[in-house]
Structure 1
Amino acid sequence: MSTQSKSKVYEEVLNEIRRLIEIQELVPGDKLPSEREMAEQLVASRSSVREALRAMELLGLIETRRGEGTFLRAYSPYHMVELLSAFILQQGKTKDNLKQTKYIVEKEAAKQAMERLDSSHFMQLEKLLKEFEESSDTIHFEFFSLLFEVLDNDLFYRIWRLMEEFSKTVHQPVYEIRTYTALLEALKRKNEQDINDLCSALYEE
């Protein structure tokens, strides 16, 4: 499926979920239908529904309670999902801005984490890299999640996570493990220039 087609499906599912909320007159605190039920009602794939719900949760519009289901949150206008997704997915310049902003956030996170990483953190990162082959589509998320965990800044993490999730609807690159191996070595050496260069290399076409 092309990026444009995927974006269109993603937006349609978000819009249909919003309509479903309005039709069923759900209010904050109400439980949403299950992922399977939504897929059937919206005539959409479960993966598309899951992706849309994940984006809504990251925006704080819904919350998932383990063993109970998914519920509307008590704040934030629900049409923000539609506006934000359309803004990010439909404008070519915005896609470039998203990549640039994501690079800046990740670069700064890596440099801040550099001062806090200790031997146990390096062991975790080394173990992570050994679990992957030469390339992977998930190593980026796993690697930087560990760096954000070290920073212990929930807001910073949520901003990055939101951009990470939305960027997947624009493109899904396969990352080279060697780049993260080099980044890990740069973090150990506390070499800011190498960190800058390697973070930039992640977004080169």
Structure 2
Amino acid sequence: MAVTDAAIDKIKQMILSGELAPGDRLPKEADLAERLGLSRNSLREAVRALALINVLDVRQGDGTYVTSLEPRLLLDTMSFVLDLHRDDTVIQFFEVRRILEPAATAMAAVQMSDADIEELGEILRSLPKDPTIEELVDNDLTFHQRIARGSGNNVLCSFIESLAGPTHRARIWRGLTQEGALEKTMEQHTAIYDAIAARQPDVARSWATVHVAGVEAWLRKALD
């Protein structure tokens, strides 16, 4: 289990056991880290992850509180990570992404103008050197949406953009918990961009398949 996952699980157990009830304030960071046997950095990452999915409420200058979510909703960590969708439904969204996005990427390699490709490169270069998970995911969404528009097929683009919402939480969770997620994402985005810029639709399709399938495979493993 990844360090962040382990830290999240320990906080979750405090909530499930009733030690922390909805509305309760978490102990001070140093005290809680020592009590749970965690580094303060691991604890901060866990709190940040749980705040992103609205399990914890971080109030600047006041402290961190458990939200009013019902305890039964906390029984499965991944259930609230995925916006309380049924797990197999979220996987099905990724299966659809794996079908549609490679096709759109191959079309973009043929249809995008030089100016469009330069704009796609600017999206890649706009990501900060040491991005937050939110910045990484936002950049990822923008990158894929620009490629979808570049396919020249408005219907296909609409379908792909409609998948962004249902898969957003899973993308954030992957960035928080999968080791090397940032590096993998950037490497694969660069390979996709290079293939589009070189007008190589088959290569672009292959890299897009590898990219989306990798996230899907991670999700299946995480849910298992």
TM-score (norm 2): 0.51
Q: Mind listing any 5+ residue stretches in structure 2 that lack a counterpart?
A: 82-90, 146-160, 218-224
Report whether the alignment pairs 1:197 with 2:195.
no
Q: Mind listing any 5+ residue stretches in structure 1 that lack a counterpart?
A: 1-6, 86-97
Aligned partner (choices 24, 32, 39) of residue 30 of structure 1: 24
Paired position in structure 1 for 2:154: none
Separation (CA, whole Å) in 1 of partners of 2:141 and 2:119:
12
* Paired letter, 1:122: L
Report whether the alignment pairs 1:125 with 2:123.
yes
The 3 A distance-change label for structure 1 pair 103 and 70 is farther
Aligned partner (choices 65, 70, 81) of residue 71 of structure 1: 65
CA contact (8 A) 2:22 2:67 kept: yes
CA contact (8 A) 1:28 1:74 kept: yes
Q: Deviations over 1:153-191 (max 9, x none)?
A: 54432232223333x1xx436449664333224567897
Report whether the alignment pairs 1:47 with 2:47.
no
* Paired letter, 1:70: T
The 3 A distance-change label for structure 1 pair 178 and 65 is same
Aligned partner (choices 154, 172, 176) of residue 180 of structure 2: 172
Number of aligned residue pairs: 176
TM-score (norm 1): 0.54
Q: Deviations over 1:87-140 (max 9, x none)?
A: xxxxxxxxxxx8xx868757856849x79xx689536424237x66xxxx9799
Q: Secondary structure at the match of 2:22?
A: coil
Q: Secondary structure at the match of 1:71?
A: strand
The 3 A distance-change label for structure 1 pair 164 and 145 is same
**Which is helix-richer, 1 or 2?**
2
Paired position in structure 2 for 1:163: 174
Q: Deviations over 1:183-203 (max 9, x none)?
A: 224567897654431134454
Q: Which has the larger radius of gyration?
A: 2
CA contact (8 A) 2:53 2:80 kept: no
Q: CA deviation at 1:45?
A: 0.9
Separation (CA, whole Å) in 1 of partners of 2:123 and 2:54:
29
Separation (CA, whole Å) in 2 of partners of 1:178 and 1:12:
28
The 3 A distance-change label for structure 1 pair 119 and 191 is closer
The 3 A distance-change label for structure 1 pair 43 and 66 is same
CA contact (8 A) 1:183 1:195 kept: yes
Paired position in structure 2 for 1:92: none
The 3 A distance-change label for structure 1 pair 35 and 83 is farther
Separation (CA, whole Å) in 1 of partners of 2:134 and 2:202:
22
Aligned partner (choices 38, 52, 56) of residue 50 of structure 2: 56
Separation (CA, whole Å) in 1 of partners of 2:198 and 2:69:
44
Paired position in structure 2 for 1:80: 76
Separation (CA, whole Å) in 2 of partners of 1:119 and 1:12:
42
Separation (CA, whole Å) in 1 of partners of 2:138 and 2:49:
17
